[in-house]
Amino acid sequence: MIYQKEVTLHVGGVHASAEPVIVRTLLGSCVAVVLWDPRLRVGGMNHFLLPDGGGDDDLPTRFGVHAMDRLIGEMLKLGADPRRFVAKVFGGASVLALNGGGGGVPEANLAFVRTFLAREGLHVVATSVGGTLPRQVRLFTDSGKVLVRRVVAPRARALVVEEERHGRSRRARFGDVTFF
């Protein structure tokens, strides 16, 4: 199939489609969740930075709780049925270890998403999480197929710089840790 449209997600991005679209993202310590309804062939993905927080934030979907709610909502708008959803989870790498420590963010992101998906009764069929290398993820919304590739230096270092810059510019908080 030839895909006419590609969507790139950055931190806080959410996209769902009933049309054949490639949704892609690059993850370090962040997490992306893919949801797919196999009967309607509707798929979507989010990309979040931290598990929770920022109710008054200018981009609440950079937090897992808001990103998951938005992704599920977008899927429902397209007619998808949550009883049929299959989930795939990616990211949560300790990439900041490349610059001296990850601060527990990847572990917290993965714990959050596992708990959230279990509580919602969403079946996880695939994961590629942890480690120290970032991942490039591509979702094909019509088939639910996901391609994952680990990214090596120098692109890995560029992602670390981007995550640090994003944390600094948005004053992202995680527990008692502020990224600056």
Catalytic residues: 30
Give the C-alpha separation, 76 to 6, whole Å.
Answer: 21
Q: Which residues contact 126 (CB under 8 A, 6 or more apart)?
A: 88, 89, 146
Spatial contact of 135 and 29, defined as CB atoms under 8 Å apart: no
Spatial contact of 35 and 43, defined as CB atoms under 8 Å apart: yes
Of 45, 63, 71, 61, nearest to 145 by C-alpha is 45
At residue 14, φ and ψ (nearest 5 deg) are -145, 135
Spatial contact of 170 and 59, defined as CB atoms under 8 Å apart: yes
Which segments of 2-59 are extended strands (E)? 6-9, 14-17, 22-27, 31-37, 42-46
What is the token pair recorded at 6?
């590609």
